[in-house]
Structure 1
């Protein structure tokens, strides 16, 4: 389960990095819109770091792996709840 937690966290961080790079490099928006988008992505990255750092640290201990898996799945669950509410 430890490897699954690492993969989940890694994929979500890779998606965030891809979104940040694609917003900066090849966006067709003006500077104000791009700055706002980058600011929101950075704020999301900070929120992800607050959640993922304990998940990665707890993944090493077999006793706390279920909590770590729950933390790693928190953002996908929130996104699914948001999409279901639309």
Structure 2
């Protein structure tokens, strides 16, 4: 529950409208948290697909495509979000 709450709380943090990467990082992180909750409940559907799509968009935005990010784009989001939240 705390991971989900942290993701929701980040939405209320100030957002500089010009920082498209920050927007997509926060959106991808939130969608990942929602998908994780659904997956833990045994539901693998739209939430998982949306989280994957947002993660791939962030990977492409960051120009970070590698075999590792292609294999686990949501893992990339988690790592990047962990770094971002430490700075904010």
What TM-score comes out, normalization by structure 2 length?
A: 0.38
Q: In terms of Rg, which structure is larger? A: 1
What TM-score comes out, normalization by structure 1 length?
A: 0.39
